[in-house]
Structure 1
């Protein structure tokens, strides 16, 4: 799977893709991540990629021309399955969306900035608009990293134990149950006996019941869905 991430602050994206699972996915050859500096497609030698909004108002707007040059250049080399714009007014990211994107091959992610992009960018290029929550960040870079992480970790072969991703919170519409590790008794805090029993069916039943209970207490909206 290939990600082309377009940003006017590309340095913000270096760290997330240089460590842990995201780095290993690239080292295994399962994922490619290419970060493109939008200022290289600026309209002048000053690196301008933004301008005042027609009609006035506070804040600057990302211009269509640099974005057009960058995306059109990428499309001249590859066919893309999705062009995603990170924006607060997009569809809120969830596990189902991440699962769907993980089946794609080539994806462009455009990081918003300032007051957003010229609306014609959205009309001409964007196939999906994604938000990571009902709040505003300084730019779309952190959101792009979150989206890419959610997708990459479920690409087949990325995790050493692929069943691990299938038991994550939200994969079955429930929150994950409590988990424990050694020691079984720590300063009087005990691991539930059923987890020490070796009885796999009972363990799985306990985990399912705990997942239901935790979801009902913390995210009852998931049960309603």
Structure 2
């Protein structure tokens, strides 16, 4: 593999690749690393490579001319090569991407600087944009060094112990298990006895389970890439139950006040399918209570008969899991009654969260609200509308208005059952 790095600070790499695995790989000719000073490819006086942006704005942009000249001279004919631009706007780099890049014979890595690179560089020369994370640093050289190191480790002849690579964190979708060396006891902390037993099969199983546990706690999304056995999947399910946060989250399906298609305030009719599906959604994600809000007495009685059937009637013996889901349903006349009950349970009023398919200013993203929920410092009541949605008065009185759920099409008419499932998954999912 040949790495060609294009940068305005070639001295940055003098020490980066002078130690450890990469240094040995270069000496053994398993990889070739060439660092190119972009300024030498500039036709401008003093090797200028940047200029002010059209349309105004702060900072400077890297100009396309020197970069185009550099790529034209560096790119090897007949090689499977790719030009990479390090940029926050790129695809996030991970272990899978590192393995994919091993399929090339030459990687030309452009190190962005200043406020970025003229976009015509991407249009004309770049094969892929790569970001190494959601943070800000001084330039693409840092990202470049990470890419070179991660890719090199998968190349033949770079690592002496191939088993070491296969067991490293994220190689198989899992973080690495805890490891220990001498002494057996350090400041009161002992090495797990199992590791001293000499039972290699038990040690292998322990390490595998510890990898699954560590991944679940610290990086659950990567479990999607892990190949788990039936026994390991059962272990993961136990982890989920045992580490379930005690969410202080309540939800309500609001039948009043709601809009009809003429934007008149009405009370909508209770639907049994809503109670069936949303109660199961709520129970799955650890919601404490699911309120059915309807001021019409006959509607509340109808809902009550359904709930009683599944909790105390024949439904309980017919389907115990559905009975459990219906057990979190509470029927109320108004939103205010639900708020009062939550305040009695929690000792403080809940923050009101509303969902709305219509876009408006000052909406809250799911990641932001999820973080607040996981802080577990206050209760939340999430309101789901019926009919043609919650009234503007209800929305204006809320503490948080979630951004609309949307796909790639213009169609935006999810059922409340679908919307509730998506919202709860985004806010309360464990990630796997």
Q: Show the 5 A alignment for 1:1-225.
A: 1-75=1-75, 79-223=79-223, 224=431
Secondary structure at 1:15 match in 2: helix
SS at match of 1:14: helix
- Correspondence for 2:389: none
The CA deviation at 1:220 is 2.2
Q: 181-190 vs 208-217, which deviates more?
A: 181-190
Cα distance in 2 for partners of 1:129, 1:216 equals 29
1:76 deviates by: 5.6
State the 1:15 CA deviation.
1.0
Q: Is the 2:3–2:108 Cα contact (8 Å) retained in structure 1?
A: yes
Unaligned stretches of 5+ residues in structure 2: 224-430
Displacement of 1:43: 2.1
> SS of the residue aligned with 2:47?
coil
Moved more, 168-177 or 181-190: 181-190
1:22-50 C-alpha deviation (Å, 9 max, x unpaired) = 10000111000000000001122311111
TM-score by length of 2: 0.50
Residue 82 of structure 1, CA deviation: 1.1
What SS does the corresponding residue of 1:176 show, helix, strand or coil?
coil
**Once the two structures are superposed, what CA deviation does each residue of 1:70-93 show, in whole Å capped at 9, x if it has no partner?**
000112656342111000111111
Local SS of the residue matching 1:216: helix
Kindly indicate whether structure 1 or structure 2 has the higher relative contact order, using CA contacts under 8 Å at least 6 residues apart: 1
Distance 2:78 2:16 in 1: 25
Question: Which entry has the higher C-alpha Rg, 1 or 2?
Answer: 2
Contact 1:59 1:115 survives alignment (8 Å): yes
CA distance in 2, matches of 1:139, 1:104: 24
Q: Are the counterparts in 1 of residues 90 and 131 from structure 2 also a CA contact under 8 Å?
A: yes
Report if the CA contact (8 A) 1:61-1:117 is conserved: yes
Q: How far apart in 1 are the matches of 2:50 and 2:127? A: 22
Partners in 2 of 1:73 and 1:162 — Cα distance? 35
Deviation at 1:108, TM superposition (A): 0.4
TM, length-normalised to structure 1: 0.95
Q: Secondary structure at the match of 2:36?
A: strand
The one-character-per-residue Cα deviations of 1:135-154 (angstroms, maximum 9, x if unpaired) are 12111001100111111122
8 A Cα contact 2:79 2:105, kept in partner: no
1:189 Cα deviation from its structure 2 partner: 2.2
